[in-house]
Structure 1
Amino acid sequence: MSAVFSLSSADTARLAAADLPPRVRELLGALIGLCHQALTAPLILTVEALEQTLLHDADHARNPQQQADLLGQRSQLHAFAGHFSDRMLDALADALARLREPITPVLPTATPPPLPGMLGLTLVAEHEVDRDLLLTEMVRRETLRSANALNLLGQRLGVVAGTPAFEADTLPLAPQALCAMVRKLAEQDALSADVQMALYRSFERQVLERLGDVLDRANALLAQHGILPGLVYTPY
């Protein structure tokens, strides 16, 4: 017997507004409900753990200036943390509701070098390169760790969307898409470079390292609903 997940009124309205067949709407609604159940706590832990780390570091700072900087970072993060999980789940639900729309790969993996004569921007460029390298490495690690589940889910969501199988760079629940969502929220709220880097590392520990279980549950849910129930993945 398949599990039943309740949807918020916003998600129900989102799916009702999408141009989707009833069967597809039902399947995507079940996936969105699963994501809310499985990811809400890890997303909340992401920012709570980071706030505690910054507070601990501030208490053990080497000098008053470093302590002030860390407390300032925690203050900036605190405003962001209040709605982080809701915004992430909203972005994920939106991506699933748009499953049948054309999508493009996300999260560029390289940042162009600064142009000659722009040495004043070197520090900004270095921060961007560090961020891109960190996110790229996070995606690589989790994609390798969850390769089997990602391949199966890509096939099943391809059936739901009526398209060829989704690759890891276009699958809404893949590490690449999730990291792109975190990055977008951090940039929208203009988090400092240091806070962003710490946020991404906490996100990897609290969410990405649990993602394999979420992907397995998503596969099981779709299989229970008759989407390629006997599918197996055998790598070369």
Structure 2
Amino acid sequence: MKNYSYIGISLVILVFGIIFIPRIIDRINDDEVVSSDRLNQQREKKAKDPGEALSYIEINGKKKKAPEFEFINQEGDTVSNEDYKGKVYLVEFFFTTCPTICPIMNKNLVEIQNEFEDTDNFGIASFTIDPAHDTPEVLADYAESYGIDHPNWNLMTGDRAKIYELANKGFGLYAGEDAQAAGGFAHQGMFALVDKEGYIRSRKDQFGNPMIYYRGSVERNKSVARGEEEPQIELLIEDIKKIL
């Protein structure tokens, strides 16, 4: 009886080989198995990749929201954080006579503007740290010279103390007068990314921690040597698209 059982099992294996092995070979030759497996691996990697979802910035366990503000824009209109509700927007602090990083920052922002020129729920909030000089008229001329034309890009001026409080305490982006700095003011060349609910968001760094802000003071496509600050504008555009 045992011999008959072995013979039966052998026949089953033989039939399986005759019917299915040629089909498997054909699928491998056609790259179907390899492609399918590759796709499955990519999906699995994507699902496990912690960098896919943007992080919230948390302080004492609470998600950090963008602070409230109300200033005058380049058109002379009053603009507040309420005008950005339901929009994904970027925040920067700059001044029009800045001879160093501001031109790079705003050139980068114009390129981002152009990426989202037809996106109604995208915006940019630019706050001058030299409000004594940067009146609405000056800001309007500056906007024209840079090609700033997105309807949701406001260049804002107002009370100096409130702007500095917004920068230093509200967003945690340093801004201040500095006689030793070029142009008389010092500030960080970073952009904050705010989601539709008003929360500050960012992708994670290589160690799994939130980057918090995006480097805006390096040209979008600049080639850099090892150890130099790398551009992050492409990353920022990707992340804007994620939360839009």
Q: TM-score, normalised by structure 2?
A: 0.28
Please state which structure has a larger fraction of its residues in helix.
1
Kindly indicate which of the two structures has a greater share of residues assigned to strand: 2
- Higher Cα Rg, which structure: 2
